[in-house]
Structure 1
Amino acid sequence: MTPARQYANDSAVKADTQAINELKAVLVIADPALWERLSTLGNVELFRTCASLSPPDGGGDEHAVAQAAHMTLRMLAERIEQLTVQIDELNQCLARLVERHAPRATGTGGHRPGQRSQAADYRGRRTRAAGHGDVVRCAVEKRLLRLTT
């Protein structure tokens, strides 16, 4: 169960990163006025703004290009939002599993008050401590396999 969730999480993070890169690439080649308006925004505000873009008014070839850019930016921003929700859900699930089956790794069992282990970073998005998190995840997976077989 845990390996599948970790695989889903890794896949969602990869797709999220790709969608963010694509959105920024489309923004760079979009209408200069749109780029100027959105380029100063932080990621969260940029994604929120792009998700609410509506097609510009007018006709002709120039407006067709702008409409395509708006639609693409809106769709990519919506995809990023969906992937972010999935990543957060998967991280919460993984954190619950680690806390249940390896409480010392989360800082809730066996540590002095105020002291946390590096594995507690599972709770943050993409903040897993390098190396240590893989060891903890592997231990949890082995323990779950023993419980389910």
Structure 2
Amino acid sequence: MLILRLFYLLGLTFSANSIRRTYYLAAVEIDWDYGNAENRELVPFRKSVFRQFSDGYYRREIPHVESLGYFGPTLIAEVGDALVVRLRNFATVSCNLQAQGVKVTSENPSYVLPHNQSTYQWEIPQESSPTYDDPPCVARLYYSSVDQIKDI
């Protein structure tokens, strides 16, 4: 199950100084305990989650913010920026990346097989910026959609 989040720091106007931001994500498997201290009868489930790495060698994982739980890392971008997300699949099931509020700028793979990797390229369009009724910063989601039932 892959439930993740994508966070955009979006301005209200288009930035002439757009930036290409590259993120290295990996699908990894963890044991996730749905129980609590009072109910230990539940067995931990094996869950696939996205984690961030420092570079394309995937040797150094960036520490995960514990309060995010099984959400993936926060990806930050502004309107006009290009996001390049390199995804390596260390999990035992196929996964992919779908994101809300982005413009796809290349042909994204329908899925990434276990032990393979792929690159996703997105732009942050002006339409994704906050409206006047929104706070100056809005959040969008990213997630795997290979199996809509199991991935959510």
For the superposition of Structure 1 and Structure 2, which TM-score range results when normalised by the shorter chain? under 0.3
Scaled by the length of structure 1, what TM-score is found?
0.23
Q: Hey, which of these two has a bigger chunk of strand by percent?
A: 2
Scaled by the length of structure 2, what TM-score is found?
0.23
Q: Hey, which of these two has a bigger chunk of helix by percent?
A: 1
Give the number of the structure whose alpha-carbon radius of gyration is greater: 1
